[in-house]
Amino acid sequence: MKNLIYKAEQTHSLSKDELILLLENDDCSEDLFQAADRVRQKFVGDEIHLRGLIEFSNICKNNCCYCGLRRDNSNLKRYRLSVQDILETANIGKRLGFQTLVLQSGEDLHFSLAVMTEIIKAIKSLGFSLTLSVGEKSKEEYLAYRKAGADRFLLRIETTDKKLYQELDPGMDWNVRKACLDDIKSVGMEVGSGCLVGLPGQTISSLADDILFFKQIDADMIGIGPFIPHPDTPLKDAKVGSFFLALKVMALTRLLLPDINIPATTAMETLAPNGQIKALQAGANVIMPNITQKSVRQFYQLYPGKSETNCACENIVNELKQKFEAIGRRISQNCGTSPHFIARSLKSLENTSTSENKALEN
Ligand code: SAH
Ligand code: SF4
């Protein structure tokens, strides 16, 4: 087991069977976390990037069986923030010292391309780096988001087990989701994806596939979250996902994709006391405090317990600074573009200029 961890740390590559062995066996998990921590330090450094999260609508046309925002959940008070509310929150984020904002929502058709473009442009004019997490869109829409200034997009694949996806995401299509990730990449945004860990019916073998999938799509950011059953969903009686297994999937992702950004997710903090600090010491380098206005925060209930976790207050940056210093880390002073995105952008520039030179030579 130790040899496998050593191999992953040196080569950033493991076979599916090797990943399964490491996921199934807990003997060397501490070694795994320490190796992921070293790789994190070597490739992305000691800085932690903060992203201010604005959850601007909990209305969703989809019906994902695991999610409290699913359209059939009639037990939830629905809200959508006005453009003005979103910008007010963005300004609070500015005052608190955030350099990146993440705008997340259910798939709410009210936020047409025209409305989204207006919001993106206004937020960019405040000087933020901007990540969107608003679900499946057409390539034209992704391109328009990019042109309006959006820098990054988060769309978790949730699971690479297509059969499980079909069961848990009724009316959706795994291949469409994968095609969305390709489109996000092709329009020039940083590509963020990730998976849930502990879905009912999910196997260790499929988690190994998930990690290999992240490498295959050449992701720039990956968020891993344990599944937490929501009482108003069809999965209410399912077993809660394991924090420890999610941490292992995250650590292995860091070993195989050494220069990407990896958040210590809110779901991890919800499940385990100090979960985010543990994640930061096992490969993570990003935290996303919630800056959504208090009046609606409780209604963005992807899973129970979430709204009390990770909420930004006036003193958030100072509090985090102290927490991070205690583990020898510091808050980043820049906007935290994924080093992997920078490297692959440079590579594609080089390729373009090489082919242009060749064309000139011919
Ligand atoms: N609607 C967008 C963004 C909001 S959902 C989308 O689906 O992409 C954001 C993430 O919440 C999802 O990708 C999913 O992985 C996570 N999530 C939903 N329900 C969850 C649950 N019960 N436990 C843990 N994470 C959950
Ligand atoms: Fe909607 Fe996203 Fe929840 Fe699915 S996971 S129901 S798309 S908010």
List pLDDT tens digits, range 256-273. Answer: 999 999 999 999 999 998
In DSSP terms, which residues pair with 174 in a beta bridge?
Answer: none
- Token pair of 183, please? 């489109």
Quick one: pLDDT band at residue 315, thresholds 50, 70, 90? confident
This prediction's pTM: 0.95
- Ligand in nearest proximity to the CA of 63: 2
What is the C-alpha separation between 360 and 362, in angstroms, rounded? 5
What is the C-alpha separation between 323 and 49, in angstroms, rounded? 14
Handedness of CA 211, 212, 213, 219 (dihedral sign): positive
Quick one: pLDDT band at residue 355, thresholds 50, 70, 90? low
Element (H, E) at 326: none
pLDDT of residue 316: 84
Indicate if ligand 2 lies below 6 Å from the C-beta of 154: no
Q: Look at residues 43, 46, 108 and name the one whose alpha carbon lies nearest to residue 82.
A: 108
Using an 8 Å Cβ cutoff, are 342 and 302 in contact? Answer: no
Residue 195: count other Cβ atoms within 10 Å of its Cβ.
Answer: 27
Alpha helix stretches (DSSP H) within the chain: 2-11, 16-24, 29-44, 83-96, 113-125, 139-148, 162-168, 174-186, 204-216, 243-256, 266-271, 275-280, 294-297, 316-325, 339-361
What backbone torsions phi and psi does residue 310 show, to the nearest 5 degrees?
A: 70, 30
Q: What is the pLDDT of residues 163-190, one digit of tens each?
A: 999 999 999 999 999 999 999 999 999 9
pLDDT higher than threshold 70 for residue 359: no
Indicate if ligand 2 lies below 6 Å from the C-beta of 107: yes
What is the C-alpha separation between 231 and 188, in angstroms, rounded? 39
pLDDT of residue 311: 72
What is the C-alpha separation between 48 and 341, in angstroms, rounded? 17
Quick one: pLDDT band at residue 1, thresholds 50, 70, 90? confident
Task: List, in order, residues 6 or more apart from 35 with CB less than 8 Å away.
Answer: 5, 6, 8, 9, 251, 255
Nearest CA to ligand 2 atom 2: 106
pLDDT higher than threshold 80 for residue 344: yes
Nearest CA to ligand 1 atom 13: 156
In DSSP terms, which residues pair with 191 in a beta bridge?
Answer: 153
pLDDT higher than threshold 80 for residue 212: yes
Nearest CA to ligand 1 atom 11: 302
Q: Which atom of ligand 2 is nearest to the CA of 158?
A: 5
Q: What is the pLDDT of residues 46-75, one digit of tens each?
A: 999 999 999 999 999 999 999 999 999 999
By three-state DSSP, how is residue 76 classified? Answer: coil
Mutate to test the pocket of ligand 2, among 65, 70, 303 (most ligand atoms within 8 A of CB): 70
Distance 70 CA to ligand 2 centre (A): 6
